[in-house]
Amino acid sequence: MAVAAPTWGIWSGSNAGPGDEWVSRLDDLDPEDVERIEVLGGPAAAARYGFGAAAGAIVVTTRRAMGDGLHWSAHASSGAVQQRGSFPWNFDQRGIDRATGAHVDYCGVDNQAWPTCTAIPDSLLRSNALITAAPFRTGLLSRLGASGSAGGELGSIYISTDVTRESGAVRTNDTRRGHVLAHGVIHPLHSLTIGARAGYGRASLAGWRPDDQNIFYSALVSGPDDADGYDISPDTVAMLATARGSARFIFGGTMTWEPARWLRIGGTLGEDRNVWVDDQNPPAYGFGSDVKAWNRASYYEHLQTTRVEASSMWRIGKSLRVIPGIGWDRVESKELGSNLLFNSAFSTTGPAAYSKFARYLRVDGISGRMEVVWRDRLTLTGGVRSEKSWRIDDQEMYPMAGASWALSSESWFPHPGFLDELRVRAAYGEAGQSRRLLHDDEPIVLPIGLYEPSKVHRPGTSETELGLDAAAWHRRLALSITRYGGRSDAEVITLPLSSYTPPVHHPGTIRSSGVEIGISASLVEAGPYRAGLDLAAAFPHTEYRGFPEFLPWRQRMVSGYPVAGYWSAPILGYADLDQDHLISTKGCYYGEFPSRSGCEVTLGEMSYIGPSAPTRELSLRPHIAAHRVTLSALFDYRGGNKLFNATDYFRCPKLCRAGQDRDASPGDQARAAAAALGSVAGFIEDADFWKLRELSLACAMPDAWAAALGAKRLSLELAARNVATWTGYDGPDPEANTADYESPEYTDMFAQPQVRYLLVRVDVAW
């Protein structure tokens, strides 16, 4: 068996997760507390962060006190949550069994072609419980929050709190969140600043199970003959729902000391404690409705970070500035997890099964950095970072280098009247991938005496960037173009058949390249009228080189092809050879690729179908403002990729129209027949789409209205999210993905489509 280990280790948690909505650590962050988010893409930009910065870094700066005096604000929002997306119909062709003369269900295209049954005229049934007996509701979203700050010469403090309640469009989906955050700064000396930050948050999340016992699966695999249109009733599905409770505490301290004008010393200390518990308490089938099965998965993480750094600035003459810096940091991570299964049919006192894991990691890093600036035109940057991982004998060095040159500042550069600035830049960096080969219960069984490898090379990544930045027409137009190319280690571990045989490590690499373009244009600036357009485009490409590996759902890692691309036997053509006006599996054999000449569906050899990740991405944000009113929208485009419509594949040929209705198009019948022969190529579909992601109308109320509340500012906003989708994809949503967001897998298998939000928000500031 081959296991992908690009992040050095694999462990599986309980399948009692809260539906398909995999939780991100960004969910713990209140948008109201965010002052700035900086995305550093790839190691060329994020190399100084070292450990775990292989894919880049997201730097989030939270809000602080707003100047002197007392300031506080409040916000309230409310809205509706609606299920969007169109769902396929289920079909059932009634017929007569040719051998017995009995009435039968599902006398489909293939059965008629062989023939094993004869269709009864005008007896094609269809049903769609998600439409005729919809399990959806109009969910409600409400949010209340307040923040305040006070500042003076001696320091400042900022406090915020927020409470969110959301009932989803499916009745099992409910969310509750609450948090409080405090940040304070004091200045005991003119040259010394000390700060502290603390936060606490709790959340509860309920949702349906991500398997064959969710409401979408139940409706889309039930036949028209099912009484309520569901394979498992919505009431039973609700009992099978999962629940997650989580709590998070964060604390941080900062210190900045400037003992001299040329020297700056800083330090940070951070602690993050995160715990969540998943519960599932359904009835135990086969043992009576009063018998219960209880599944609990728990996880605890304790992360500590410490950093000390010093920087200086030396001026050499009038033209040269040299800015050296050095820093030391430590990251310590402790993770504990357990999974407990209890079934009251077997025991009323103890668990039926229990497992746990523990993981500890400590990484020390020392980094040095030097920046040289010549006449504020040419900037050269260089640095190196050394990291040491404890418990495994390894030490890695990660260099970085960069350059930026303002060409438009040079006297020899031509200066067209429209151009304000032109700058070129280049960067190179290396970083280490986050390693998880430090389990206390390592899943890879090693020979006795070799529990831990004595020396292991940490997988890493490197990237080179070339870019251009320009501003024109009095900076009303800004352009940024970046070309990048990178290389990442992607190791595959082949597990041994015997516990006394060590696993085989197959080194591999992932090469990534692409172009990113950003444009910001101010189109109209005339008094109170303004209009602009922001555009971001990306054209990414990946290529895997290494040991072949099969991923679930017909995805593969094949040398020379994109990462996790789709592979199957392609449909090269089809023909109605027996002139029965049907395309069926007659003359074919399951799993025979390429198909033989007598097969009505011509299948080729197993080959590459297309990439699973987009190769073209585009975002457009137009905005118009007039007086106090601002109208803005966000359009998203993704294209160049495929998506495996496993929902329709699983339903064909028994329930889909192409498998039951002889009047379905020959192409659709060929797709269903190919699926019956083992080829999923017909269901690996183009997933290009345009989406109106967001539409908002904001209005700043007259000052007199705000004064009536004793406030300085009052604003009202109406917003809609996930407004519309334009796509040729046959499934409900071309962005649907059943797999974990950390996985390279892309599969639409009874996944819930995105919901639409309709919101109204009020902001008041004093």
Instruction: Please report the pLDDT score of residue 446 as a whole number.
Output: 34
CA distances from 684 to 556, 646, 750 (A): 14, 8, 15
Query: Does the structure show a pLDDT above 80 at 630?
Result: yes
Q: How does residue 56 score in pLDDT terms, banded at 50, 70 and 90?
A: low
Cβ(690)–Cβ(726) below 8 Å: yes
CA distances from 249 to 147, 165, 180, 205, 254 (A): 19, 20, 10, 18, 17
* Residue 286 zone, left/alpha/beta (φ > 0; ψ -120 to 50; rest): left
Closest by CA to 312, choosing from 297, 326, 301, is 326
Cα end-to-end distance, the chain, whole Å: 63
Question: What is the residue whose two structure tokens read 């990048």?
Answer: 484
Q: What is the rounded CA–CA span in Å between residue 94 and residue 595?
A: 30
State whether the Cα torsion 735-736-741-744 is positive or negative.
negative
How many angstroms from the chain centroid is the CA of residue 700?
34
Query: Does the structure show a pLDDT above 50 at 435?
Result: no
For residue 594, whether the previous peptide bond is cis, meaning omega lies within 30 degrees of 0, is: yes
- Tens of pLDDT, residues 15-49: 333 333 344 555 555 566 666 666 666 666 665 66
Q: What is the rounded CA–CA span in Å between residue 278 and residue 14?
A: 8
Higher pLDDT pick, 192 / 744: 192
Superfamily holding 2-89+128-569+606-641+687-765? TonB-dependent receptor, beta-barrel domain (2.40.170.20)
Per the structure block, which two tokens stand in for 43?
């190691």
Per the structure block, which two tokens stand in for 128?
């769609």
CB-count burial class (<10 Å; 0-12, 13-18, 19+) for 526: exposed
Instruction: Please report the pLDDT score of residue 291 as a whole number.
Output: 59
Question: What is the residue whose two structure tokens read 């007598």?
Answer: 598
What is the arithmetic mean of pLDDT over 491-517? Answer: 77
Q: What is the rounded CA–CA span in Å between residue 506 and residue 493?
A: 6
Q: What is the rounded CA–CA span in Å between residue 470 and residue 519?
A: 10
Cβ(178)–Cβ(199) below 8 Å: no
Strand locations in 457-506, DSSP E? 460-472, 477-489, 492-494, 504-506
State whether the Cα torsion 427-384-50-31 is positive or negative.
negative
Average pLDDT, the chain: 85
- Tens of pLDDT, residues 481-498: 999 999 988 877 666 655
Question: What is the residue whose two structure tokens read 């457009």?
Answer: 620
Cβ(502)–Cβ(454) below 8 Å: no
90-94, 321-325, 415-419, 435-439: which has the minimum mean pLDDT? 435-439
Closest by CA to 299, choosing from 248, 231, 345, is 248
CA distances from 113 to 460, 579, 593, 704, 751 (A): 56, 10, 22, 77, 33
Q: How does residue 451 score in pLDDT terms, banded at 50, 70 and 90?
A: very low
Q: What phi and psi values does residue 594 have, to the nearest 5 degrees? A: -75, 160
What is the arithmetic mean of pLDDT over 724-744? Answer: 87
Q: How does residue 13 score in pLDDT terms, banded at 50, 70 and 90?
A: very low
Query: Does the structure show a pLDDT above 80 at 731?
Result: yes
Length of the chain: 766
Q: What is the rounded CA–CA span in Å between residue 173 and residue 352?
A: 28
Pairing label, strands 293-312, 314-316: unpaired
Q: What is the rounded CA–CA span in Å between residue 747 and residue 740?
A: 10
Instruction: Please report the pLDDT score of residue 449 as a whole number.
Output: 36
pLDDT above 90 as % of the chain: 59
Q: Report the SS3 class of residue 651.
A: helix
Q: Compute, in degrees rounded to 10, the torsion defined by CA atoms 449, 451, 455, 460.
A: 160
What is the arithmetic mean of pLDDT over 7-14? Answer: 26
Cβ(727)–Cβ(111) below 8 Å: no
Query: Does the structure show a pLDDT above 90 at 555?
Result: yes
- Tens of pLDDT, residues 280-305: 766 555 455 565 677 788 889 999 99
Cβ(757)–Cβ(83) below 8 Å: no
Q: What is the rounded CA–CA span in Å between residue 177 and residue 23?
A: 13
Closest by CA to 324, choosing from 382, 364, 268, 365, is 382
Q: What is the rounded CA–CA span in Å between residue 535 and residue 619?
A: 6
How many angstroms from the chain centroid is the CA of residue 429?
24
Instruction: Please report the pLDDT score of residue 6 as a whole number.
Output: 25
The distance between the two most distant Cα atoms of the chain, rounded to a whole number of Å, is 102
Q: What is the rounded CA–CA span in Å between residue 423 and residue 20?
A: 44
CA distances from 252 to 264, 269, 310, 603 (A): 20, 5, 19, 61
Residue 139 bridge partners (DSSP): 81
9-13, 439-443, 691-695: which has the minimum mean pLDDT? 9-13
Q: What is the rounded CA–CA span in Å between residue 367 and residue 354?
A: 43
Per the structure block, which two tokens stand in for 202?
């709790």
Q: Report the SS3 class of residue 646.
A: helix
Cβ(766)–Cβ(236) below 8 Å: no
Whole-prediction pTM value?
A: 0.86
DSSP 514-543: EEEEEEEEEEEEETTEEEEEEEEEEEEEEE
Instruction: Please report the pLDDT score of residue 10 as a whole number.
Output: 24
Question: What is the residue whose two structure tokens read 């870094």?
Answer: 57
Cβ(171)–Cβ(148) below 8 Å: no
Q: What is the rounded CA–CA span in Å between residue 361 and residue 38?
A: 27
Cβ(110)–Cβ(653) below 8 Å: yes
DSSP state of 561: B
Cβ(439)–Cβ(357) below 8 Å: yes
Question: What is the residue whose two structure tokens read 């997650």?
Answer: 244
Cβ(727)–Cβ(641) below 8 Å: no
CA distances from 539 to 428, 477, 618 (A): 20, 22, 9
Neighbour count for residue 249 (Cβ, 10 Å) = 15
20-34, 71-85, 182-196, 387-401: which has the minimum mean pLDDT? 20-34
Q: What phi and psi values does residue 403 have, to the nearest 5 degrees? A: -150, 145
Instruction: Please report the pLDDT score of residue 347 as a whole number.
Output: 59
Q: What is the rounded CA–CA span in Å between residue 685 and residue 728?
A: 9
Per the structure block, which two tokens stand in for 308?
């000390």
Residues contacting residue 231 through CB under 8 Å, at least 6 positions apart = 217, 218, 219, 221, 222
Closest by CA to 84, choosing from 727, 739, 725, is 725
306-315, 428-437, 696-705, 738-747: which has the minimum mean pLDDT? 428-437
Cβ(215)–Cβ(237) below 8 Å: yes
CA distances from 447 to 228, 434, 502 (A): 56, 25, 6
Neighbour count for residue 340 (Cβ, 10 Å) = 17
Q: What is the rounded CA–CA span in Å between residue 557 and residue 564?
A: 5
Q: What is the rounded CA–CA span in Å between residue 688 and residue 143?
A: 34
Q: What share of the chain is helix, strand, coil (3-state, %, to 5)?
A: 10, 55, 35
